[in-house]
Chains A and B, each alone.
Chain A
Amino acid sequence: MPQKIYIRLASHRVNTSVAVNQRHPKIFTPGEVITTQNEFMRGHGTYEENGELKSSVAGVREQVNNLISVRPLKSRYNGEVGDVVVGRITEVQQKRWKVETNSRLDSVLPLSAVNLPGGELRRRSAEDEHMMRQFLQEGDLISAEVQSVHSDGSLSLHTRSLKYGKLAQGVLVKVFPSLIRRSKTHFHNLPIGASVILGNNGFIWICPTINNTDESVGGFIQNLEQVVPKQERETIARIRNCILALMQSKMLLYDTSILYAYEESLKYSVPELLVPEAMVDTAVLTQQRLCMIENE
């Protein structure tokens, strides 16, 4: 049975805020005065004018001792060493790949920073250079870790661990990088039957549960024959829609929030979750559950 077609008027748009009698953090707009006292230091997202400290981005204020910075709500990804990112190969060059990671500049993945098939300790020969497109070609998705940040802000990546590498079947969801909560692990095998990689750069990869049994290949294998069963497909689609619902209400994304949203969304069918009312309802219920946990 096909669903109804919804065309709603902009004036009937639902309010996506989930903040129920909570303290709102003050949001500074560009050019707004943060402080007139000059004992503070100028951090990221701020500038000084006529002895006043002003915000240069739209975001919330953060203070460490005397250092004031403003963290933008929406921005491109600013990489830090050790971050887990999900990215897409845009170019194959001499001894390196260019990767799109939602940063201002494309990131670089050197050939020397990947685990080649056939063992950890192997010399990279000229043949490997010719084979680069066989390992990773344009359009391929990878998970990787940030190895270093160059002076211009561009990133150098590595996949020198068995958990990183090429991604197989699944869905990519793009959110703002500021919505991803930093945590010890960004790889989650959710108990509901799907795996999620929360890239720090705002790219989220949802795929069927990964079995960590045959990992000797170093993650360049894709099984294109395998058909994902309907059940798993439904779970993946539901997680995708839940993440979009949380994003619409600007809620932080981490394993617990996604799991709660998944559980709260079960009263709707998966396509119903595309309707704004259902999205907000799911987000509000998730927020309430997260608050309850915090208060305990």
Chain B
Amino acid sequence: MSLCEAEKTFVLHGVEENFRVDGREREDYRPMELETDIVSHAFGSARLRLANTDVLVAVKIEVDAPFPERPYEGKLDFFVDCSANATPDFEGRGGEELAVQISNALSSAYRSPNVFDLRKLCILKGKKCWKLYVDILLLECGGNLFDAVSLAVKAALWNTQVPLVKQVDIDGNNINLDVSDSLSDCQRMDVEKAPIMVTVCKIGERCVVDPNAAEEKCSVGSVVVAVAGRKISTVLQTGTGSLHPVTLLECLTLGVKIAQRLDTALWDTLRQIKPNQDVGFLK
């Protein structure tokens, strides 16, 4: 999508006046819609729709060997797929760069043990652990992908059920796992502190959160702040522009503030979830 100069001017002046194109203030978020457990054959899944941005996340689990340097930890792997249905720009290898950027941001945000405890995924020290594959599919792009993806990932991980290992038999070099067949024996993961990413977009001289596609086109650069609890776990910059240190500080403070509000809103919603409320895609 391209914008003409006049449209950009209109957006720019609106941000300056704290009255954006859709009437929001600079710190306002658009309403979102969330559904968990939407993919029946995944261990956990979530779909988040933020205006026109649509993200589907599914978590798969496999048994794997831990890294030799981290024998006590499980593995967490992010993969982003940019569907060409989202925008024609993603056709072929067009979405690859964005996909790598998002998955790198996520793995860096989830790396710290204070954020997400990978030791819970260990089955047998140095030999066996669970590996979580978090697959993210971008179905539609309407701006603010990072925030939507991080919320959906957190919801999907919250929804994920890790099977219970009843017994481990070690016979020489062979290790047999006896995994419980019962679905009720699964354990949920602790995602209390899982990071939320907030994109703070610099438009003109001001910073806005939750930019729509048109506003993203008007910005010279944005800062993505991943916040876990009250601490910043990762910061990255997208776009070409440069930032003044004062602006950067402002962005970070704003990001932390918004992330905490988002986190509260997400937990309020997750607590309302009851089983068998399927909606799916067709309704």
Contacts and interface: CB of A to CB of B under 8 A. Distances in A.
Given A11-B277, A271-B22, A141 B4 contact: yes
A169 B249 CA distance: 33
A10 B278 CA distance: 8
A10 B23 contact: no
Contacts of B231: none
Nearest to A244: B22
Kindly name the residue among B7, B13, B269 whose own CB sees the greatest number of chain A CB atoms within 10 A: B7
Interface residues of A, number: 42
A87 B29 CA distance: 29
Contacts, number: 120
Interface in A236-255: 237-238, 240-241
Contacts of A170: 6-7, 10
Interface in A1-59: 2-13
B81 interface: no
A3 B34 contact: no
Given A13-B279, A139-B2, A233-B19, A7 B268 contact: yes
How big is the B interface, by class? Answer: 35 or more
A267 to B, nearest CB: 14
B282 to A, nearest CB: 12
Contacts of B268: 7
Interface in A206-243: 222, 224, 227-228, 230, 233-234, 237-238, 240-241
B17 interface: yes
Contacts of A105: none
A140 B8 CA distance: 11
A276 B51 CA distance: 11
Given A233-B14, A233-B17, A240-B22, A224 B7 contact: no
B69 interface: no
Interface in A112-147: 137-141
A7 B28 contact: no
A9 B278 CA distance: 10
Contacts of B62: none
B73 interface: no
Contacts of A88: 2, 4
11 contacts: A5-B32, A5-B262, A7-B265, A8-B269, A10-B47, A169-B7, A170-B10, A237-B23, A238-B23, A241-B23, A270-B23
Given A8-B32, A9-B269, 17 more contacts: A7-B151, A7-B268, A8-B31, A9-B272, A9-B277, A13-B283, A171-B21, A222-B5, A224-B6, A227-B13, A233-B13, A237-B19, A238-B23, A241-B23, A270-B22, A274-B22, A276-B31
